[in-house]
Structure 1
Amino acid sequence: MVKALTESLSQQQQTQIHVPELANYDLITLAQKYNKMKPPEFEGGIEPLKAEAWVLENEKIFEVFPCTEAHMVLLATFTLKEEARRWWMLVRNDNEGTTWDRFKEIFFEKYFSQCIRDRKVSEFEQLKQGNMTVAEYEAKFTELARYAPRMIDTYYKKARKFEGGLDLDVYD
Structure 2
Amino acid sequence: MVAQKRLKLITGFSKLMPMIFEGGADPMVADDYMGQVENHLTSINVSDYHLKIILATYKFSKDAKLWWKSVINQHKVEYMRLYMFELFYEKYFPVTKRWELRKQFDDLIQGNMSVTEYENKFTSLSRFAP
Scaled by the length of structure 2, the TM-score of the pair is 0.91
1:73 counterpart = 2:53: yes
* C-alpha RMSD over aligned residues: 1.3
Contact 2:13 2:41 in 1 (8 A): no
Tell me, in whole angstroms, the C-alpha distance in 1 between the residues paired with 2:72 and 2:50: 12
1:120 counterpart = 2:101: yes
Output one character per residue of 1:5-63: Cα deviation in whole Å (capped at 9) or x when no partner: xxxxxxxxxxxxxxxxx622222112111111111210111111111111011011112
Output one character per residue of 1:109-166: Cα deviation in whole Å (capped at 9) or x when no partner: 11111111110011001000000111211111111010011xxxxxxxxxxxxxxxxx
- The alignment covers a number of residue pairs equal to 127
Runs of at least 4 residues off by over 4 Å: none
Tell me, in whole angstroms, the C-alpha distance in 2 between the residues paired with 1:41 and 1:61: 13
Tell me, in whole angstroms, the C-alpha distance in 2 between the residues paired with 1:26 and 1:126: 48
Corresponding residue of 1:153: none
Amino acid paired to 1:53: D
1:35 counterpart = 2:14: yes
Residue aligned with 2:88, SS: helix
Residue aligned with 1:61, SS: helix
Tell me, in whole angstroms, the C-alpha distance in 1 between the residues paired with 2:45 and 2:75: 23
Question: Comparing both chains, which one has the higher relative contact order based on Cα–Cα distances under 8 Å and sequence gaps of 6 or more?
Answer: 2
Corresponding residue of 1:91: 71
Which among 114, 119, 139 is matched to residue 120 of structure 2? 139
Tell me, in whole angstroms, the C-alpha distance in 1 between the residues paired with 2:11 and 2:107: 45
What is the CA-CA distance between 1:92 and the residue it aligns to?
A: 2.0
Identity of aligned residues (%): 33
Matches within 5 A, 1:1-172: 23-67=2-46, 68-96=48-76, 97-99=79-81, 101-149=82-130
Amino acid paired to 1:121: R
Tell me, in whole angstroms, the C-alpha distance in 1 between the residues paired with 2:109 and 2:32: 25
Residue aligned with 1:63, SS: helix
Segments of 5+ residues of structure 2 without an aligned counterpart are: none
Tell me, in whole angstroms, the C-alpha distance in 1 between the residues paired with 2:27 and 2:51: 24
Amino acid paired to 2:80: T
Tell me, in whole angstroms, the C-alpha distance in 2 between the residues paired with 1:112 and 1:25: 34
Segments of 5+ residues of structure 1 without an aligned counterpart are: 1-21, 150-172
Indicate the structure (1 or 2) with the bigger Cα radius of gyration.
1
Residue aligned with 2:101, SS: helix
Scaled by the length of structure 1, the TM-score of the pair is 0.70
